Each structure stands twice: as C-alpha cells, then as structure tokens.
Structure 1
Amino acid sequence: MRKDTSTNALNEKQIRDSCGMAYSLNIIGGRWKPAILCRLSYGLMRYSELKKSIEGISERMLVAQLKELEKDKVIERLVYPEVPPRVEYKLTALGLTMKPMLAAMSDWGNLHRQQVNAVDEQTKVVY
C-alpha cells in the first residue's frame, strides 16, 4: 500500500481529477471489472451466476471487484431475506449510462484485435 502523499499517488489523483477518460478508466479498469460489467449489462445476475460465467476469477477477487463497483455507484447489490440468503447484482441507473461506452470499447477492441492479427498473419515468415 502506498502513501496517499507519495508523488505517484498525487500525480494519479491530479490526472483522475482533471481528465474524464482517466477517471472513467479508474472505475472500469482492471482485469475483471470489464467482464463483470459486460455480464451485468444484460441484466440482473445472482452472485453464483457471475462466478460461473467469469472463468478464472477467484471468489476473493470477485467479491473485491463487486465491492469497488458498488462503492463507485455503478452496480447495486440486492440481498433477499431468505434462507439461504439470495444475493443479486444489477447495474444502477448510473451504471446503465455506461452501456454505450462499454459497447463502443468492445467494438473497438474487436476491430483492433482483428486488424492486428491480420497484420501479424501477413508478416509471418515461414522457414
């Protein structure tokens, strides 16, 4: 854990506070958040469904990422008073406004992957 007063932390805060893109990427960035947001963009999901649908994510990491997204008001955690307890997650109204951005990022990522792979295929040398 770095100190809040370190130069690195202060620089990061300054960039986040002055650039909307940096602020957005801070919220949705990381290895697992895009996968979580993608699944929740299709609608309400139970915790166990999320866990099963994201291959390779540990329970600890899923819980941590869900808590961060909830803290950032992007998702909502719904707990039903049942035995056993049922927990579901959904995008908040603010989170729903991210759908066009997430779709555009997905489209661009697929386009980039396609073009880079095509260039890589053309430049392969067979010995």
Structure 2
Amino acid sequence: MSKQRPSEICNVVATIRVIAGKWKPLILWHLFSGTRRFGELRRLMPEVTEKMLVQQLRELEADELVRREVYPQVPPKVEYSLTDHGRTIRPVLNQMSRWGQAQIERTGETHEGSEESVETVGARPRRKQAAR
C-alpha cells in the first residue's frame, strides 16, 4: 500500500473543513443554480432551522465561497450567491455525489425524505429494510 504524503492529507482536511457542516453542501448545491434570497433557501431546505442556516451561510461567507449582498430597502433584502472561488467547488461536490450514489447502491442506505436525491444531503441516513 502506498503512503500518502502529509501535504496530501492536509489538503483533504482543508477541503473538509470548508464544506463540513450538515447543510453546507446542500446550500452550495442550491446556489449553483444562481442567486437566492434567504427565504428561498429556507423554503428549499425546510428541515434546517433559521439559526443553523444563518450560521452555515456565515461560515461559507467567511471562507469566501458565498457572497452576501444586503440591499438598503424596507423590508431588508438579502441575497446569497457563489463567489468565483465558491464555483470552483462544484466538481468536488459532483464527485462526492457520484461516490455517494455508489455508496447508497452498495449499502442499501437511503435517507428520510426524498429517496436518494440531492435534497437529502443533510438528512440522517437509514438502512433499507430487507424484503420479507
């Protein structure tokens, strides 16, 4: 078995640190299709609490993957979009999606909600019941 160099492991850890978070991959996935308002993200992810969504968006903004734009109007209008740097993570998430699909097929694991769809990224996994 070949040994990985410490720098390779550090690179993986750096990537995981940025996208780790129950809802970050799903937030990014929704932003791949364009700019979204906060309320729109909430409707797309009804399982996430408002507090958690705000926290995850702030972390993505701090890591320069997401841009937050506030418009000075009443009521306040806030939009979220991917930065140029944020768009570079799409191939990583696409590959993770392919790997996840293979894992689901291998283990029979599914997620509560919409079976095996992108919307289940944050959902808790469960095993398929054996046919009786």
Q: TM-score, normalising length from structure 1? A: 0.77
Unaligned runs of 5+ in 2: 1-5, 110-126
CA distance in 2, matches of 1:84, 1:37: 25
Equivalent residue runs for 1:104-123 within 5 Å: 104-117=95-108
Matched residue pairs, number? 109
Q: Which residue of 26, 51, 69 maps to 1:60?
A: 51
Q: Which residue of 15, 30, 39 maps to 2:30?
A: 39
Question: Once the 2 structures are TM-superposed, how far is the Cα of residue 55 of structure 1 from its aligned partner?
Answer: 2.3
CA shift in 2, pair 1:116/1:78, >3 Å: same
Q: Which secondary structure state, in structure 1, belongs to the residue aligned with residue 57 of structure 2?
A: helix
Paired-residue identity, % = 40
CA distance in 2, matches of 1:32, 1:111: 21
CA shift in 2, pair 1:50/1:104, >3 Å: same
AA at the equivalent of 1:82: Q
Larger radius of gyration: 1
AA at the equivalent of 1:36: I
CA distance in 1, matches of 2:13, 2:100: 18
Unaligned runs of 5+ in 1: 1-14
> Which residue is equivalent to 2:115?
none
Q: Does the 8 Å contact 2:32/2:82 carry over to 1?
A: yes
Q: TM-score, normalising length from structure 2? A: 0.74
Question: Once the 2 structures are TM-superposed, how far is the Cα of residue 125 of structure 1 from its aligned partner?
Answer: 7.9
Say yes or no: does 1:79 pair with 2:70. Answer: yes
Q: Once superposed, what is the RMSD of the aligned Cα atoms?
A: 2.4
